[in-house]
A and B are shown apart, each in its own frame.
Chain A
């Protein structure tokens, strides 16, 4: 039942948006309401897990299955969808896009959400691949919502790099299945994650290693891990703000989820630290490239894209450092998703008001748009890991994991790179917030209800930073039990 309530609402919303030929604002409002239903269902799944029940399953051959990891991921995806749809175009009175474009937007945003939710709740790694490939297709169609040279270029790069990356992940999946079919035999449910993990000890580690390397490159492309991150600044910079928000929060969760699932399979097959080394290497590289690229940014949306690369790196480093590191990684994933769900929306509001994505053109934000500017600064500080926000805690947890596992070099490198990123972001932020405004005809703050939604998310970030609620703690601990084998 919960699975139906989780997956069907976004499909209904997409169907409704498709059925109403001329877009009306009730379509968008119904979409938000349906997304809330999804979120409630995700909370329901999480509750089942927290109360100690077995992972719920659904469909023939346990096609859908939600353990703690799926529950966390579907919570994050559903949450980001609600926030982004509520703050997206087509709800208020602003006429930013034509009706035809709004119709297209609402169809594909909801489909996007539906395939992401399916990807994190299916038990079959083949279907997971199909769903993740589908995310590329539906999201790529929305990047050129306003047809400009920049958006066309960004969407072409995104769809080509994304499709090739995901094809490589499929190659990895096929090779893993090859390993299974050769040793265990042909079986219909062999691509079920539970079956793979259960028989992982029988599989040849060298085949699984080969396949994991390909899968990490493939899904790492979707997650935007360096050096496969090149599509990210282009796509995030050119996509409509709500889509960039959903991609940097929910889609990122889905890609990391896929990597984690496969990492568990490889780690079960052999505990020689192969997957840890690989993930750690990509993590440090992403952190470094992300942090250093921020320094030279002149466009604040691209700057935020590099912040995503940097955080992807931090999460990978955590995943490589045993149970404590896995805890830090999942906590970081939660915090990062909450922050990024509004970050690009705020950037979009600023761009719309100031008419430019250049840092130099938006000086004096605190004077022209005090609320939006203040919120932008707050979420930015949260992303930089300053207290009292949640990322401060997850970064501390990561440092602790470094100490406990004796990875002092990793710790030192991480600290240096985080400092570089911190200084670079603060310099850019200062230029945006203070100084005399470049132009005086700035539209001013958004309506109060929008500010209210933003404030609620920021409040959530503070709560995550001060004390993690008990059920959330239990859920993350149960997730860590799955990841750290």
Chain B
């Protein structure tokens, strides 16, 4: 979804669906692994990533109107191809981990790693700041999935801290989204190109270009 759809609505929908599947996976792992902490994790996960964050994303959508990722740096066909290659790559890099583990969930590890890679790819290849935020959230989902499938979850108390950080980080990114929109009148990160080595910007804000 993230790779071939263009409108930001469908990105948000894809993220919500992915998060819902993940909380279900967490419950299942918690049930078969007999680890009741995971129910708490799943509940929080659901609350945070299926209800709260999509809600904020919808509010943002109302603020900015229907946004489209019209001309990403990498086009749809190439994106899908790269996505496939990234999943293959994740199978390659996680081989030693899968061979080491004896958990029944070990075959899911490469998929979790693939999610991480695809999140990274979305951040790199898309132009809208909002898409980059969603890419970051997908990346976080991948890591959380890895923790659940690979280890039946990291200690609960640390997990709580991680949730807090994700929420805060997401909130800060939202704040900056408004800042960017205010000062640049667009949320295209392509416009964020003033700070380079050749551009000198005096304090009055006018841009003077000097060759080096």
A358–B210 alpha-carbon span in the complex (Å): 12
Q: Is B101 interfacial (CB 8 A cutoff)? A: yes
Report the nearest A residue to B178, measured CB to CB: A152
Q: Kindly name the residue among B120, B154, B193, B195 whose own CB sees the greatest number of chain A CB atoms within 10 A.
A: B195
Which of A130-138, A425-433, A464-472 interfaces with chain B? Answer: A130-138
Residues of A close to B173: CB separation below 8 A? 159-160, 163
Contact assessment for B205 and A149 in the assembled complex, using a CB-CB cutoff below 8 Å? yes
Q: How far is the CA of A127 from the CA of B96 in the complex (A)?
A: 27
For A136, give the chain B residue with the smallest CB separation: B169
Q: Is the C-beta of B11 less than 8 angstroms from some C-beta in chain A?
A: no
Q: How large is the interface on A (under 10, 10 to 19, 20 to 34, 35 or more residues)?
A: 35 or more
Query: Assuming the A-B contacts A141-B175, A159-B173, are A358 and B150 also in contact, with contact meaning beta carbons closer than 8 angstroms in the complex?
Result: no
**Contact across chains for B150 and A149 when beta carbons are under 8 A apart:** no
Find chain A residues with CB under 8 A from B102 CB: 182
Q: A171 and B146 in contact (CB under 8 A), knowing A124-B158, A144-B179, A152-B183?
A: yes
Q: Is B91 close to A, CB under 8 A?
A: no
Q: In the complex, which residues of chain A have a beta carbon less than 8 angstroms from the beta carbon of B139?
A: 164, 167
Q: Is the interface of B mostly helix, strand, loop or mixed?
A: helix
Q: How far is the CA of A456 from the CA of B184 in the complex (A)?
A: 43
Which listed residue (B168, B183, B200) contacts A137, Cβ 8 A? B168
Closest to B96 in A: A206
Interface size class on chain B is 35 or more
A237 CB within 8 Å of chain B:
yes
A137-B165, A157-B192, A171-B146 are known contacts. Are A355 and B176 too (CB-CB below 8 A)?
A: no
Q: Which 5 pairs, one residue from A and one from B, show the smallest C-beta to C-beta distance? A: A126-B158, A130-B161, A153-B192, A178-B150, A181-B151
Check A207–B96 contact: CB distance below 8 A.
yes
Residues of A contacting B184 in the complex (Cβ-Cβ under 8 angstroms): 149, 152
Q: Which residue of B lies closest to A175 (CB)?
A: B97
Are the CB atoms of A155 and B140 closer together than 8 Å? Answer: no
11 residue pairs of the A-B complex, CB under 8 angstroms, read: A127-B158, A150-B205, A152-B192, A153-B180, A159-B172, A167-B139, A171-B116, A177-B147, A182-B103, A191-B155, A351-B203
User: Given A133-B169, A141-B172, A191-B158: A299 and B180 within 8 A (CB)?
Assistant: no
Report chain A residues within 8 Å CB of B132. Answer: 160
Contact between B212 and A148, CB atoms less than 8 A apart: no
- A329 shortest CB reach to chain B, Å: 29
Quick one: given A155-B176, A160-B136, are A147 and B200 in contact (CB under 8 Å)? no
Please pick, from A156, A188, A207, the residue contacting B129 in the complex, using a CB distance under 8 A: A156
Q: In whole Å, how far is A200's beta carbon from the nearest beta carbon of chain B? A: 16
B123 at the interface (CB under 8 A from A): yes
The reply to whether the CB of A179 lies closer than 8 angstroms to some CB of chain B is: yes
